[in-house]
Amino acid sequence: MARSSLTLAALATAAVAGLDVVSTTPISTGLTGRFDSALLTARGGEQLIIRVPTSQEAETEQSGDLVALRALTTGSRGRLPFRAPEFRGQAPVGQTRGHVYDFIPGAPASLESLDHSVELAESFGLAIAAVHSLPTSVITDAGLPVFSASESVRAATSVKDRAASTGRVPVDLLTRWSLALDDSALWQFQPAVIHGSLGPESFLISGERVTGILDWSNLKVGDPASDLYWLSSVTREESATRVFSGYNVGRAGPVDRQLRKRARLYAELEIAKWLVHGSDLRDAAIVDDAVGMLNGLASTAQADLVNPLSSDTGRVLAVDEVEAMLSQTPRREPVNARDHANAARISDDD
């Protein structure tokens, strides 16, 4: 059951010494979101946000968010052209804890926001570039994860292999992904500080600029392209190009000329992850959804031969070669009615 505004206000008062809340505005409830949250207005006009996780997954995310936000020192925050949330206090509630942060003005962004203006699209790129330009000591000093270029390609290869093991990925896509993953030139990048969970919903915007970025729980050192894959979903190609343009202007160091291709690869592998997720759950609806998207992607890729993912297409594997490769990969048994029932039970438990 969702917690009332009065409960959240009392919890915030316990979390932040001297806080005098005069009004609260609910933001979400446990019925529609992963957090019970509210905007708090304190006497004197200061505004804060309180969030209480409604699931174990949300609690884990909030704990990771707190660690990351504490890693962003005053000096590193001063390098950013936007605000990241600042933790103000916490208080126990039931089996979890409520966290209080300062409020960052701005409206939640969407993919359509990128079409609003050239300036706003470029502001997205500048904001992402500022994160990637932070010194990696921000991460290492906090003991947060660090992934090398070789570890990044191994992780991507693992996703491709797991998807291939389902036997549901079009051969042309496996060829396309394998060529990209085997292309050493594509993976010659300098790992950087990355947000790790970026999507349009991570941004707060006002007018022509990004005012804040939220959800820092996956902060790490890794492949900068993994923070940009979501741009492949932008309807207008020129909007995505403007984001990359702003990114290249704001990014410290040499331009990564393979950045956009790796971002595209990560976007395609997100569908592969969805297929693996459905296969692991033996959820036919998820599997069918993923297969439909993969078939559509395969058709698009075939029609766009001038834009391969790899920097050098190399020798294209013949169909019988790819089929031979797939025959060496164990496939899952067909899903039966009992498996469907178990998947439904798991979903209900979640």
> What's the whole-number mean pLDDT along residues 282-286?
97
Considering only CA atoms, which of 271, 265, 247 is closest in space to residue 183?
265
Considering only CA atoms, which of 194, 201, 200 is closest in space to residue 217?
194
Handedness of CA 310, 314, 317, 322 (dihedral sign): negative
From the candidate CATH numbers 3.30.70.890, 3.60.21.10, 3.30.9.10, 3.30.200.20, the one assigned to the domain spanning 21-103: 3.30.200.20
Task: Give the residue, 330 or 147, on which the prediction is more confident.
Answer: 147
What's the residue count for the chain?
Answer: 350
Say how far apart CA 37 and CA 11 lie, in whole Å.
Answer: 11
> What's the whole-number mean pLDDT along residues 330-350?
35
Q: Across all residues in the chain, what is the average pLDDT?
A: 87
Beta bridge partners of 28: 37
H or E segment and range at residue 321 = helix 319-327
> What's the whole-number mean pLDDT along residues 106-134?
95
- With 70 as the cut, is the pLDDT of residue 165 above it? yes
Question: Residue 224: its pLDDT value, please?
Answer: 98
Does residue 188 contact residue 220 with C-beta atoms inside 8 Å? Answer: no
CATH no., domain 111-345: 3.90.1200.10
- Which two structure tokens, joined as six digits, stand for 28? 């979400």
Interval 179-211: pLDDT, tens: 999 999 999 999 999 999 999 999 999 999 999
> How far apart, in Å, are the Cα atoms of 133 and each of 56, 76, 138, 158, 232?
33, 10, 11, 28, 22
pTM (predicted TM-score): 0.84
Q: Which of 66-80, 175-189, 200-214, 299-313 has the lowest mean pLDDT?
A: 299-313
DSSP 3-state of 70? helix
Domain boundary assignment for the chain? 21-103, 111-345
Contacts of 281 (CB under 8 A, 6+ apart): 343, 346, 347
Torsions phi, psi for 270 (to 5 deg): -65, -35
Report which DSSP code applies to 169: S
- With 60 as the cut, is the pLDDT of residue 349 above it? no
Say how far apart CA 229 and CA 111 lie, in whole Å.
Answer: 13
> How far apart, in Å, are the Cα atoms of 123 and each of 84, 116, 237, 244, 254?
15, 12, 17, 10, 20
Burial category of 339 from C-beta neighbours within 10 Å (exposed 0-12, middle 13-18, buried 19 and up): middle
- The per-type count for the chain, helices as H runs and strands as E runs, is 12, 10
Question: Residue 236: its pLDDT value, please?
Answer: 86
Does residue 223 contact residue 262 with C-beta atoms inside 8 Å? Answer: yes
DSSP 3-state of 282? coil
Interval 218-258: pLDDT, tens: 999 999 999 999 999 887 889 999 999 999 999 988 889 99
Q: Which of 72-76, 244-248, 308-312 has the lowest mean pLDDT?
A: 308-312
Tell me the residue ranges of DSSP E strands in the chain. Answer: 21-28, 35-42, 47-53, 87-93, 96-102, 107-108, 192-194, 203-206, 209-213, 220-222
